[in-house]
Amino acid sequence: MALTTAAQRLQWARKNHGSYGNATEAARAFGWPVSTYLGHENGDRNPSRPTAKKYANAYKVRWEWLLDNEGPPTASAERNIKTVPLLSWVSAGRLADAQSQIPVEDVPLLAFADLGRGEFFALKVEGDSMDRLSPEGSVIVVNRAEREPINGKPYVFFHRTEGTTYKLWHANPDYLAPHSWNGTHQPIFIQRKKDLEIVGRVRKTMLDL
């Protein structure tokens, strides 16, 4: 359900709180006038700011989000949001050097929640060799702190002849595998370990429709 109205956000907050199966039950439990609360959940009228603060306090959400859809639903979600620089494939290749720094000046910054620990940057996907995971034009979030390859997991690599590439890691034999609906894409076999560096593990894909 798209949470575009205060009524929809209020319904979501009640259901996400986990204790009340319907609006009447919640209103009675908190001592709110049932008809008034039903009107707010049904969208007949919006709650006032003091009332929105009362609902937000009961459901452990931010009143600014509940009333005006400003920011994330909870303060903890706001604390977990990280800004990530959106780089180019060329700059990502340079990051294969563990001592290189992620540029944060003069590049767009994207906001993501719940990334956990790491050193993150984002790339816009070029081509369709990984379109079963990340269609062309989508944005992937890469964690530079994860450079130990795990079989079957997606990474951004820097290959001496192929340049920067986004593929699945496959071990024994070692190769970089495409994951595409386009059957013309071929794996890249690794003949010498020194020809390949792992830039980081891909942790998230984002696509605007």
**Cβ atoms of 71 and 64 closer than 8 Å:** yes
Per-residue model confidence as pLDDT tens digits over 11-70: 989 988 876 779 999 999 999 999 999 999 999 999 999 999 999 999 988 999 999 988
User: What is the distance between the alpha carbons of residues 75 and 86, in angstroms, rounded to a whole number?
Assistant: 25
Q: Tell me the whole-structure pTM to 2 decimals.
A: 0.63
Mean pLDDT of the chain: 89
Q: What CATH number has the domain spanning 82-206?
A: 2.10.109.10
Residue 92 Cα distances to 46, 96, 97, 98, angstroms: 47, 7, 10, 12
What is the residue extent of each domain of the chain?
Answer: 6-78, 82-206
For domain 6-78, give the CATH superfamily.
Answer: lambda repressor-like DNA-binding domains (1.10.260.40)
Per-residue model confidence as pLDDT tens digits over 100-115: 888 776 788 887 777 8
**Cβ atoms of 155 and 202 closer than 8 Å:** yes
Q: Which amino acid is at 194?
A: K
